[in-house]
Amino acid sequence: MTYAELNTPLRTIMTPGPVEVDPRVLRVMSTPIVGQFDPAFTSIMNEVMEMLRKVFQTNNEWAFPVDGTSRSGIEALLCSMIEPGDKVLVPIFGRFGHLLTEICERYEADVYTMECEWGEVFDEQEVINEIQKISPKITAIVHGETSTGRIQPLQKIGAACRELDVLFVVDAVASIAGTEIKVDDWFIDGIVAGTQKCLSVPSGMSPITYNERIEKVIAARKKVERGISTAEDRENEIERDHPIIKSNYFDISMLQDYWGPRRLNHHTEATSMLYALREGLRIVLDEGLETRFNRHRIHEQALMAGIESMGLGLFGNPDCKLPTVTCVKIPDGVDAESVRCMLLNEFGIEIASSFGSLKGKIWRIGTMGYSCRKENILFTLGALEAVLIRHGVNVHTGKALQAALDSYTMVGKESIGQ
Ligand SMILES: *Cc1c(COP(=O)(O)O)cnc(C)c1O
């Protein structure tokens, strides 16, 4: 029996990830493999670390990808920091807050949560009050919540954490390279990014960065022969009363020894993915962070103008809308899945459904990275209008594309689509 060569369809992907990958990234992925200790490769590793620092806007020494999907970075950071019984505060405003909670619980943290209604975010002071009350070792929070399309302000929480000596860990998987994140200025101690969202690289790596406050916590848990302190430990006054990190794969002290100048063997680096990440980061820095954030805004505005002009409603508090995800209320009586299927089958466009309490209530349209282009926005609006008409929805025919085009004219940058 023989199988046909792989033949993947060309899609317009307007979900909150995975999104379309820049052709330049796909191209570098087909370049030859080099050994992981080959100087040709280690210099790529060093470049990636340098580029990551720029994208994270940090001076941290440590910035490297964890191999695995985005949650691998979250798990690596948290499992390397959390000792059983450690207090962790997780403010939850959507699905990914629950993921943070679940990971912390698995590593036996004493987890405190606070929740707000989906579609809202927290008033920073509210979180700070809770931090003061609980005195956690770690506060872990999502920045861009893809499940609800909201963005949580972080700077004041970060400043309070620093003042109260609480470690501040952020999930920026959906926001990195799509909207502003200033790791150092916002007093973020550890942060996790993803590749398949605004970086427009395939899923499979999770870039992280963390500062010396976290490095110290992790160093104290480094695996050494039990009961014997090394000269290095004595010098750093590290006392061995901390349990070692429970995961080999996610042990950040080992990843650090692999990415750092010691280059101690740990895992086999995902060579082709690292090429992809390097190219993705290079493209981000070549476009420029400000220009890139602005581009995401411009296309988001055009999309929202189109959706509303069609007569559809947007979900959630507009004051905290995540620029990279737009949540659209599903009109009453419409078969939401049938609409998504028709978009895919007739137009090759993919939009996302939703989770939990929002299931069946909203569609989510991503405007991320390479997918975030004028042609995609216009195509999606035109197709959605046509499909909704086929589903008997009384939309304001012809308005959506005009509103989007007006929105582009207004910013006076019609060439921004590329
Ligand atoms: C997508 C996403 C994740 C998880 O990413 P995986 O690659 O599926 O592991 C985590 N957090 C947020 C905010 C996300 O949007």
**Which residue's alpha carbon is nearest to atom 6 within ligand 1?**
70
Mean pLDDT for the stretch of residues 228-254: 78
CA atoms within 13 A on the CB side of 57: 15
**pLDDT band at residue 224 using 50, 70 and 90 as cut-offs:** confident
What is the pLDDT, as a whole number, of residue 223? 84
284 is written with which tokens? 């981000």
Find the 265 Cα to ligand 1 centroid distance in Å: 28
Counting DSSP H helices and E strands in the chain, the numbers are 14, 13
102 is written with which tokens? 């679940």
pLDDT digits (tens, 9 = 90+) for 158-172: 999 999 999 999 999
**pLDDT band at residue 231 using 50, 70 and 90 as cut-offs:** low
What is the pLDDT, as a whole number, of residue 273? 98
What is the pLDDT, as a whole number, of residue 226? 47
Q: Which residues fall within 8 angstroms of residue 124, CB to CB, at 6 or more apart?
A: 153, 154, 155, 156, 157
Find the 89 Cα to ligand 1 centroid distance in Å: 19
Residue labelled with tokens 């466009």 = 349
Q: What angle do CA 85, 90, 93 make, to 5 degrees?
A: 160
Bond prior to 18 in cis (omega within 30° of 0): yes
Tell me how far CA of residue 19 lies from CA of 8, 399, 416, in angstroms.
15, 27, 19
| Alpha carbons 66 and 255: distance in angstroms, whole number | 8
What is the pLDDT, as a whole number, of residue 234? 60
What is the pLDDT, as a whole number, of residue 412? 75
* Average pLDDT score, the chain: 95
What is the pLDDT, as a whole number, of residue 1? 82
Asked whether residue 225 carries a pLDDT value surpassing 60, the answer given is no
What 3-state class would DSSP assign to 99?
A: helix
β-pair type (362-366, 325-329): antiparallel
Mean pLDDT for the stretch of residues 310-316: 98
pLDDT cut 70: percent of the chain above it: 95
Mean pLDDT for the stretch of residues 117-136: 98
pLDDT digits (tens, 9 = 90+) for 41-53: 999 999 999 999 9
Find the 30 Cα to ligand 1 centroid distance in Å: 26
pLDDT digits (tens, 9 = 90+) for 184-223: 999 999 999 999 999 999 999 999 999 999 999 999 999 8
Find the 10 Cα to ligand 1 centroid distance in Å: 24
* CA end-to-end distance (rounded Å), the chain: 44
| Alpha carbons 350 and 15: distance in angstroms, whole number | 6
Instruction: For the beta carbon of residue 60, count every other beta carbon within 10 angstroms.
Output: 22
Residues having CB closer than 6 A to ligand 1 are: 17, 69-71, 96, 142, 144, 146, 171, 173-174, 194, 203
| Alpha carbons 97 and 137: distance in angstroms, whole number | 17
Q: Amino acid identity, residue 335?
A: D
pLDDT digits (tens, 9 = 90+) for 378-413: 999 999 999 999 999 999 999 999 999 999 999 875
pLDDT cut 90: percent of the chain above it: 93
46 is written with which tokens? 């060093």
For residue 144, which atom of ligand 1 is closest to its CA?
Answer: 13
What 3-state class would DSSP assign to 160?
A: helix
Among the residue ranges 48-52, 100-104, 243-247, 365-369, the one predicted with the least confidence is: 243-247
What is the pLDDT, as a whole number, of residue 418? 46
| Mutation choice for ligand 1 from 13, 71, 208, CB with most ligand atoms inside 8 A | 71
| Mutation choice for ligand 1 from 70, 102, 171, 327, CB with most ligand atoms inside 8 A | 70
Tell me how far CA of residue 43 lies from CA of 39, 40, 209, in angstroms.
6, 6, 19
- How large is the C-alpha radius of gyration of the chain? 22
Find the 173 Cα to ligand 1 centroid distance in Å: 6
Mean pLDDT for the stretch of residues 226-252: 74
pLDDT digits (tens, 9 = 90+) for 64-89: 999 999 999 999 999 999 999 999 99
**pLDDT band at residue 277 using 50, 70 and 90 as cut-offs:** very high
Q: Going from the N-terminus, what domains does the chain have, and what CATH number goes with each?
A: 22-284 (3.40.640.10), 289-415 (3.90.1150.10)
